[in-house]
Amino acid sequence: MNTSLLRTLAGLYFLLTTLSVAAQNKVVVFQSDFGLKDGAVSAMKGVATGVSGDLKLYDLTHEIPAYNIWEAAFRLEQTVPYWPAGTVIVSVVDPGVGTDRKSVVLKTNSGHYIVTPDNGTLTLVARSLGIAAIREIDEAANRRKGSQQSYTFHGRDVYAYTAARLAAGTITFEQVGPELPRNVVSIPYQPAVKEGNTLKGSIAILDVQYGNIWTNISADLFRELQPAYGDILHLTIYHKGKQVYKGDAPYCATFGAVAKGKPLGYLNSLMELSFALNLGSFADTYHIGSGHEWSVTVSITHKK
């Protein structure tokens, strides 16, 4: 074999090895609506550890409200970008377990892998991070041995097992299963838009510890209203199209800028427009929820 060919083969080997390391970094992150009262989460991690003891296993959250696919979608969008490329995320909020909904691995344009039922969980992250490719999990090849008669715990038997094999480099992304068209099941919702001098958006999530209202209106979109601290924001909240709240709040940098119990608008840690009561719960006080059925409009009156 001549020297030139050897160098070419060595270069290809180095390239393939580098790409494999970049794509599969031995990190698996788990999200579910299982809670921590029983052994479900531990079982998933046990399966992953059985695939490879070298894996690093982390939790996103296991406190998604039962069956709340929208919140699962939001938590993915909230956290996935902060993990290194190559991280494999398992998201199991699966009210349709055992039905014909597809089990998939989505590779984002950012190089993250999300292992999940394709039931709406991918709605937001597919939009924000983009879809590089989607593959349906071939359960004949990627299912925990001896689990073929189990139909109600795909998180353990299929998703944790497949994610661990992918993260460990036991399988390539191509070996997950057949490639699917680059679209996902999506939950309909009001995207953040500007119409004239009014912003429209959704209540993406509640800051559950404090009851603050987090919208999907980005700081960049909000700045198109040219806000200044002290300007008055006019907020209207709708549930399934019906108005349930209307009120005013000053735009502030900090909660302490208003008196205890008074409303304010602010930019949250994700740099999205949010509303709160200082030292109180906006959601509890006004009976506000979150998700695709909750929408808002915001306009502004500039201080003189």
Question: What's the number of domains the chain is made of?
Answer: 2
CATH number of 215's domain: 2.40.30.90
pTM: predicted TM-score of the whole model, two decimal places: 0.84
Helices within the chain (DSSP H only): 3-23, 40-51, 69-79, 123-129, 154, 161-168, 219-222, 282-286
Q: Is residue 185 part of a domain?
A: no
pLDDT category of residue 20 using cuts at 50, 70 and 90: very low
Domain interval for residue 242: 193-301
- Band (pLDDT 50/70/90 cuts) for residue 150 is low
Strand pairing category for 88-92 and 113-117: parallel
Of 159, 180, 201, the position where a domain reaches its end is: 180
Give the CATH number for residue 91.
3.40.50.10790
Closest CA to 285 of 257, 254, 252, 262: 262
| Residue 210 to residue 257: CA distance in whole angstroms | 17
Same domain, 206 and 138: no
One domain for residues 36 and 78: yes
What gap in Å lies between CA 222 and CA 229, rounded to an integer? 13
Strand residue runs (E) in the chain:
27-32, 56-61, 88-92, 103-108, 113-117, 131-136, 179-180, 193-195, 198-207, 212-218, 232-239, 242-250, 263-267, 272-277, 291-301
Pair (208, 148) in one structural domain: no
Average pLDDT, the chain: 91
Co-location of 35 and 114 in the same domain: yes
pLDDT at 163 exceeding the cut of 60: yes
pLDDT band at 97 (very low <50, low <70, confident <90, very high): confident
12 shares a domain with 150? yes
Check residue 170 and give its pLDDT.
Answer: 95
Same-domain status, 85 and 218: no
Mean pLDDT confidence for 74-86: 96
The Cα–Cα gap between 195 and 245 comes to 20
In a domain, 187, yes or no: no
